[in-house]
Chain A
Amino acid sequence: MNKADLPFLSAAALGELIRKQEISPVEATAAYLGRIDAVDGKLHSYITVCRDEAMQAARAAEQAIAHGEWRGPLHGVPYAVKDQFWTKGIRTTGGSRLLADFIPGEDATVVARLHAAGAILLGKLNMSEFATGNSVDHPFGTPHNPWDLERNAGTSSSGSGAATAAFLCATSLGEDTGGSIRNPANNCGLVGLRPTWGLVSRYGMMGAGWSMDIGGPMARSVEDCALTLQAIAGYDPRDPYTTRQSIPDYRAGLTGRIEGVRLGIVKEAMDADFVHPQVKAAMSKAVADMKELGVSVDQVSIPLMTSAAAVTRAIIGVESASLHHNWLRTRLHEYDHNVQIDFLTGAIMPAQLYYKAQKIRALTRQQVLAALKKVDVLVLSSSSEPAPLLPKEAGLKSKDEARQRMSGRRSLTGVFNLANVPALSVPCGFVSVEGKELPIGLQLAGRPFEDGLLLRVAHAYEQATLWHTRRPPI
């Protein structure tokens, strides 16, 4: 195999070739580093590339495998993580100049687990400042979408989206508080899973909104997502809210069989006038494709879905502001301008407004769980549109503009972080915009801790379609 082709393999395929010692982790890592050098100047998906550390880890993996100490399907496989996760001895910026020189003394749990699985850390990925999703100023370079460099890679796990889609890592981690894995997965044509809250440890992950924050996999295939989730999921005594349930074999669950699964199309999403007509058409086609695979389809209603963006904003605003309360007083103007607006709004939020938002949240969860009694998996689009153009300026010009930012597509993802159920985006087509073909995603959501079912349904759909085989023109 031509070494330059190595980055285009799936993580699963690469891991298998490494296990059989047909490819060395050193070759794979060098190939990815070479591609990063060739391509990332256009994308700015990486903040820090850990060149020396990666090659050292690759040599160690090569030796271990040669001595029969194979650790599993990710052993020797190069990956990258959103710069929101601590990495021991490697700067971790949160996408902010305020932490430009912060070097953690330990790994986040998810990074430690990937290390234990033998995966090779290539580097730290770019992101919206402190995972807010609205930042325009990126101190380490603005991430660009590999499908169209003028467009947004999605927020806030922008670098995870861009790097994974552009084959600059075999798999990656993002983090999702209000949609920050699913939105870049939509925009970049990837599979991105927001796990059930409590399935994956938050230890060592910079918080955005503690009650909704969770890290999760972003990959080019459902199988790669499953492998990555397998490595990071499970109880962590350092995150007291992690589940003690045993973790199933997610990859073994990808049987391709989804007969009898009951899908529920979310009425409010299909009726929404802000969803692009081509996106709605793609949803309908995706559902029809899944019916061919044996699922039954019904319609469900989640009325509070339409307010999910505003409720999410109220809750995250307060929780984020409380994390930054000292710096808001002493270093305010070092934040991105939009982040300043959001954090200050959260800082002065009237208590009764926050309290009401939390009550609506409780009711939203009731509605979502009620829908999931009627069906097994909820279906809707991951976003209202494909990737928009990159924003040119920060600021708010009117209350109406503020209202728009707290409604629309953000409700499509926000409803599931409010309910703390798992939700996944899988590619389901392309939309033509100004002569460019841009990917869009199908969103699936399920009951708490039934992440495996989402992966199984997404995998069956993926294997019955060709969307995941297309490559961005970079």
Chain B
Amino acid sequence: MADLTQNEVKSLGRAVGVELEEPLLTEVTYNLNALRELLDDVNPPELDHVEPLPIIAPHERISHE
């Protein structure tokens, strides 16, 4: 997986209303690319068959539902 460039990361920032300037732009680029790389390496076979639900004790009702 190719790293995102700083320009691409800057655009991601603009997409959420954040203007990324140096030195943060470089550091956030490092951080995001590191995370992308680490997660790209994790591909257990069941990944396509699981739902990404937050953990809620299934045997209890949630009072606001």
Q: A residues bordering B, Cβ < 8 Å? A: 197-198, 211, 237, 240-241, 243-244, 303-304, 307, 310-311, 313-314, 317, 325, 328-329, 332, 340-342, 344-345, 347-350, 353, 355-363, 365-366, 395-396, 398-403, 406-407, 419-420, 448
- Nearest A residue to B64 via CB reads A240
Contact between chains at A328 and B37 (CB < 8 Å): no
**On chain B, which size bracket covers the interface?**
35 or more
Task: State whether A342 touches B51 (Cβ < 8 A).
Answer: no
Interface residues of B (CB under 8 A from A): 3, 9, 12-13, 15-18, 20, 23-24, 26-28, 30-39, 41-42, 44, 46-47, 50-57, 60, 62-64
Chain A positions within 8 Å of B15 at CB level: 348
- Complex formed: what's the CA distance from A398 to B34 in Å? 9
Q: Is the CB of A403 within 8 A of B37?
A: yes
Q: Which of these, B23, B31, B64, contacts A345 with CB under 8 Å?
A: B31
Contact of A329 with B3 at beta-carbon distance under 8 Å, contacts A304-B44, A314-B35 already known: no
Quote the shortest CB–CB distance from B37 to chain A (angstroms). 7
Closest to A347 in B: B16
Given known contacts A241-B62, A353-B35, is B54 in contact with A399 (CB within 8 Å)? no
A406 to B23, CA, bound (A): 20
Enumerate chain A residues within 8 angstroms of B13, measured Cβ to Cβ.
Answer: 344, 347-348
Cβ–Cβ < 8 Å partners of A345 in chain B: 28, 31-32, 35
Q: Are A356 and B39 in contact (CB under 8 A)?
A: yes
Select B31's contact among A341, A357, A365, beta carbons within 8 Å.
Answer: A341
**Complex Cα gap A325–B9 (Å):** 17
Jot down 19 A-B pairs with beta carbons below 8 A, ordered by A: A198-B56, A198-B60, A240-B62, A329-B17, A344-B18, A344-B24, A345-B31, A347-B13, A347-B16, A348-B9, A348-B15, A357-B39, A358-B54, A395-B27, A399-B33, A400-B34, A402-B34, A402-B35, A403-B37
Complex CA–CA separation, A342 to B34 (angstroms): 12
Q: How far is the CA of A307 from the CA of B42 in the complex (A)?
A: 7
A96–B17 Cα gap in the complex (Å)?
23
When the two chains form their complex, are residues A211 and B55 in contact, meaning their CB atoms are under 8 A apart?
yes
> When the two chains form their complex, are residues B52 and A362 in contact, meaning their CB atoms are under 8 A apart?
yes
